[in-house]
Structure 1
Amino acid sequence: MLIKEKSKRNEILSANSYKTNLWNYLRNKDESSYSDIKALGLIQDGSPFMDAESTEYFRETLAEKSVVRKEATVLKNDVDSSSIVTFPSKSMATWTKAGEHDLFADALEMKDVDVNLEYNTLSKLITIHEDFLNSPQTKIEKIILDTFARNFAKAEDKAFITGSGNGEPLGFLVDEDIKSLSATKELKLDDLKKLFFSLDSEYRENAKWIMNDKTALYLQSLKDGQGNFLWNQYDGTFMGKEILISNFMPDIDTGLKPIAFGDFSNYWIVERQNPTIKRLSEMFILKQHQGFIMREYLDAKLMDKDSVLTLAIEG
C-alpha cells in the first residue's frame, strides 16, 4: 500500500463519521451505514475495518490483559508480508578524531539478519442477546471490545509463548535459536542462579522471569545457604527480578521448559492493520442472539535471540 493511500485510509478511520457508521451497523444492523463503509473500500472479507478510536481502546485493553504484550515492543506495518533487516552490533561506541573513517571497519564487518514477518489472522466469534444489545442503557461498544480483548489476550499469550510460527507467531519456548540451559526435575537453586548469570548483563538489567503458578509456588520454597527465602514476599521478585505469571508456561516436567528469563522488550509484535469486525444476524436468530466476529492481523517473534534464555528439564 502506498504512503498516500495509507494516509488517506487512516484519515477516514479516524473520522467521527466513520465510527458512527460502524457502530450503527454493528448495533442496529444499519445497512445504509454498511453501504457507506463499503463505498469507501474499507471492507475486508465482508468485515469493516475498526475505527481508530475503537482500535486504540481495544489495543490498550488487550495490553492490560496480556502478560507478554505489555512487555513486548509493538510496531505497526501494513505490508502483507515483509522482512525486517537488522544489523546487530555488540561493539561499543569509539572515541575518534574528527574523521569518520575509523568507524567504517566495524560497520562493514557487521552481518545483517533478515527476519521474515507474516500476516497471521487471529479470529473470534461472540454472541450477544438481542434484548441486551438493543437496550439503550447497554454500553455495547465497551462490552464488545472488552470481551474480544480478554479472549484475544489469552490467545496471543499462548502463541507468543508456544506458537509454532506456522500460521501463528513464533513462541519463545519453540524458537530453536534461543539458548536453553538444562536442569533436572528436582530443580535446584543453583540451576536458577546459573540461568540468571548466563544471561548477559546487558539484558539482565531489565530482565524478568516468566513461569506458571505451580513453578512460582515451588520457587517460593527455595532458600539460600543462610536459610533465607529467595522470593521477596513484599514485592514478588525472585533474585531481585519481577516474576510474570502465565499458565501457558508448562510445569516442571521432563522434556519441558518451565522457566524463561530475559528482556522481553526484544520480543516484537508487528500489527498489520486495524482489526476488522462483522455482525452475523441470521445464524443465531432462533436463539435471539446476534453474532460478532473480530479478526486481528499480526506476527511476532524474538528479534534478539541472546536476550532471553529458557530452562529445559531433562530426564
Structure 2
Amino acid sequence: MLIKEKSKRNEILSANSYKTNLWNYLRNRDESSYSNIKALGLFQDGSPFMDAESKEYFREKLAEKSVVRKEATVLKNDVDSSSIVTFPNKSIATWTKAGEHDLFTDALEMKDVDVNLEYSTLSNLITIHEDFLNDPQAKIEKIILDTFANNFAKAEDKAFITGSGNGEPLGLLVDKDIKSLFATKELKLDDLKKLFFSLDSEYRENAKWIMNDKTALYLQSLKDNQSNFLWSQYDGTFMGKDILISNFMPDIDAGLKPIAFGDFSNYWIVERQNPTIKRLSEMFILKQHQGFIMREYLDAKLMDKDSILTLSIEG
C-alpha cells in the first residue's frame, strides 16, 4: 500500500464520522450508515474496518487479557505484501582507529535469516439479544469489544504457545528451532535451575518462566527428606524471575514441554490491517439475537531462537 493511501485511510478511520456510522450500523442496523461506510471502500473479507478509537480500545483490552502478548513485541504493519523477511542484528560496539572499514565489513557480511512473517485470519462470532442491543442505557460498544478481546486473547495465547504455523502462528512449543533440555517426569527444582543457567546471560536479564497452574503447584509442593518445602516462599517468582501462568501450557507428562524460560520480547506479533467487524441479522432473527463477526489479521514467531529454552519431559 502506498504511503499516501495508507495515510488517507488512517485519517478516515480516525474521524468521528466514521466511528458514528460504524456503530450506528452495528447497533441499529442503520442502512444509510452502512452505505456511507461502503462508499469509502474500507472493507476486508466483506466486513468494514474497525474505527481507530475502537481498535485501540480493543487492542488495549487484548493486551490486558493475553499472557504472551504482554511480553511479546507487537508490530503494526499495514502493508499488503505477503511476508516480511528480517535478520537479527547481534553486532556490538567496536573500538576502531580513524577509519570505519571494519564496521562496514561486519555489516556487509551479515546474512538474512530465513524468517518469514505472513498473516492468518482469526475470527470470532458472538450474539446479543435484540432487547439488550436496543437498550439505550447499555454500553454495547464496550460490551462487544470486551467480549471479543476476551475470546481473541484465549485463541491467540493458544496459538502463540501450541500453534502449528499452518494457518495460525507458530507456537513456542512447536518451533523445532527452539532448544530443549530434558528432565524426567519426577521434575525437580534442580531441573529449573539447570534451565535457568543454560539460557545465555544476555537473555536472562529480561527472562520469565511460563507454565500452567498444575506445574506451578507441583513445584511449590516439593519437599526434602525432612518434609520442608524446597520452594519455601512463593511470590510469583522463581530465582528472581516472574512466573507467567497459562493453562495452554501442558502438564508434566512424557513427551510434553511443561515449562519455557526466556526473553519473550523476541517473540514478534505482527498485526496486518485493522480488525474488521460485521453485523449478521438474518441468521439469528428467529432467536431474537443479532450476530457479530470480528476478524483480525496477524502472524507471530520467535525471531531469535536462542532467547527461549523449553523443558521437555522424557518418555
* TM bucket, shorter chain: over 0.9
Decide whether the 8 Å contact of 1:231 with 1:239 is kept in 2: no
Decide whether the 8 Å contact of 1:81 with 1:117 is kept in 2: no
CA drift at 1:192: 1.1
Aligned twin of 1:184: 184
Decide whether the 8 Å contact of 1:231 with 1:237 is kept in 2: no
Superposition CA RMSD, Å:
1.8
C-alpha distance in structure 2 between counterparts of 1:169 and 1:267, whole Å: 11
C-alpha distance in structure 2 between counterparts of 1:304 and 1:277, whole Å: 34
Report the 3-state secondary structure (helix = DSSP H, G, I; strand = E; otherwise coil) of the residue aligned with 1:69.
Answer: helix
CA gap 1:20/1:286 in 2 versus in 1, 3 angstroms: same
CA gap 1:106/1:18 in 2 versus in 1, 3 angstroms: same
CA drift at 1:261: 0.3
CA gap 1:149/1:103 in 2 versus in 1, 3 angstroms: same
C-alpha distance in structure 2 between counterparts of 1:31 and 1:137, whole Å: 22
C-alpha distance in structure 1 between counterparts of 2:5 and 2:200, whole Å: 44
CA drift at 1:8: 0.4
TM-score, length-normalised on structure 2? 0.96
Decide whether the 8 Å contact of 2:269 with 2:298 is kept in 1: yes
- After superposition, the C-alpha distances for 1:11-44 in whole angstroms (9 at most, x for unaligned) are 0000000000000000000011001000000122
Identify which range, 115-124 or 196-205, moves more after superposition: 115-124
Decide whether the 8 Å contact of 2:84 with 2:118 is kept in 1: no
CA drift at 1:88: 2.9
Decide whether the 8 Å contact of 2:49 with 2:275 is kept in 1: yes
C-alpha distance in structure 2 between counterparts of 1:85 and 1:230, whole Å: 46
CA drift at 1:244: 0.3
CA drift at 1:133: 0.5
CA gap 1:286/1:151 in 2 versus in 1, 3 angstroms: same
CA gap 1:238/1:228 in 2 versus in 1, 3 angstroms: farther
Identify which range, 90-99 or 258-267, moves more after superposition: 90-99
CA drift at 1:106: 2.1
Decide whether the 8 Å contact of 2:220 with 2:234 is kept in 1: no
Unaligned segments of structure 2, at least 5 residues: none
C-alpha distance in structure 2 between counterparts of 1:152 and 1:282, whole Å: 25
CA drift at 1:189: 2.1
C-alpha distance in structure 2 between counterparts of 1:20 and 1:257, whole Å: 48
- After superposition, the C-alpha distances for 1:146-174 in whole angstroms (9 at most, x for unaligned) are 00000000000000000000000000100
CA gap 1:233/1:22 in 2 versus in 1, 3 angstroms: farther
- The count of residues paired between Structure 1 and Structure 2 equals 315
TM-score, length-normalised on structure 1? 0.96
CA drift at 1:98: 3.0
Report the 3-state secondary structure (helix = DSSP H, G, I; strand = E; otherwise coil) of the residue aligned with 1:290.
Answer: strand
Report the 3-state secondary structure (helix = DSSP H, G, I; strand = E; otherwise coil) of the residue aligned with 2:243.
Answer: strand
Decide whether the 8 Å contact of 1:84 with 1:114 is kept in 2: no
Report the 3-state secondary structure (helix = DSSP H, G, I; strand = E; otherwise coil) of the residue aligned with 1:268.
Answer: strand
CA drift at 1:105: 2.9
CA drift at 1:81: 4.2
Report the 3-state secondary structure (helix = DSSP H, G, I; strand = E; otherwise coil) of the residue aligned with 1:121.
Answer: strand
